[in-house]
Amino acid sequence: MRVRILLAFFILMSFQLLAQKERDPGTYNYEVQFIRTGLEGTELFKVFTYCKKEKDCFEYAKIDALKAILFKGIPGSGLQRPLVNEAGGEDKYRDYFKTFFSEGGKYLNFVAISNDGSIEDDDRLKVGKQLKIGVVVSVQKANLRRELESAGIVKKLSEGF
């Protein structure tokens, strides 16, 4: 009997752990503001993300910044048009982006938390049960474009010639 209870407990725990890996749908909102262009193909953005735990906001900020660059474009920045400008590109290359954005995935090569992760007081807000935090991230846009070009998702400028 004791063994069964223990087994049930472990099964429940493992479900709980798996559930924690999935992002809460309520945290999919984000806002990205362009800060400035750095030297050698980097751009700085402030990403406001929603999370329950502060450390999650840092991870979400990296993913959200890249998603904005890839699929939306960021007004005022050097990437006003989305990098993936093919209509329906997000769906067409779903498998690639699933792997790209997976835990420890390739996306980490192109984005980093800037300012040692320090958050300004005005950029830390409580919204309902969630935190809204403004995190500054640095994106290596030139390397990101090269990766997408070699994966055949983004056309090279010289393609067809």
Partner 1 sequence: MKKYLFLILVLTLISTFSFSQAKRPTIMIVPSDNWCFQNGFIEEVDNQGIKEKRPNYARALMENSDLGNVITKINGLMGDRGFPLETLEEALKTVKQNSAELMVMQSKSSGSEVNQSAYDQLMNVVKSDIILKLGWTTTKSGFNKSIQINIEAIDAYTGESIASQNPPGEPSSTADVPTMLSVAVLSVIDNFNSRLQQYFDDLFANGRKITVRLNKFSSWSGDFESEFDYNGSTDELNTIIDDWFTKNTVKGRFNNTGSSENVMNFRQVRIPMFNEKGKAIDAKDFVKPLQKMLQAPPFNIPTKLVPKGLGQAWLILGEK
Tell me whether residue 49 or residue 114 sits nearer to partner 1 (CB atom): 114
Alpha-carbon gap, residue 60 to 66, rounded angstroms: 10
Q: Are 110 and 145 in contact (CB under 8 A)?
A: no
Among 24, 33, 38, 123, binds partner 1 (CB under 8 A): 38
Strand extents, DSSP E, 73-129: 111-113, 124-127
Which residues partner with 139 through β-bridges? Answer: 43, 111
Sign of the torsion formed by the C-alpha atoms of 133, 138, 143 and 146: positive
The least distance separating partner 1 from the CB of residue 34, rounded to whole angstroms, comes to 10
Could you say which residues in the range 51-80 bind partner 1, by CB under 8 A?
76, 78-80
From first CA to last CA, the distance across the chain in angstroms is 73
Site string for partner 1, 79-118 (x = CB under 8 A): xxx---x---------------------------------
Site string for partner 1, 128-157 (x = CB under 8 A): -------------xx--x---------xxx
Which residues in this chain contact partner 1 in the complex, by CB under 8 A? 36-41, 76, 78-81, 85, 141-142, 145, 155-158, 160-161
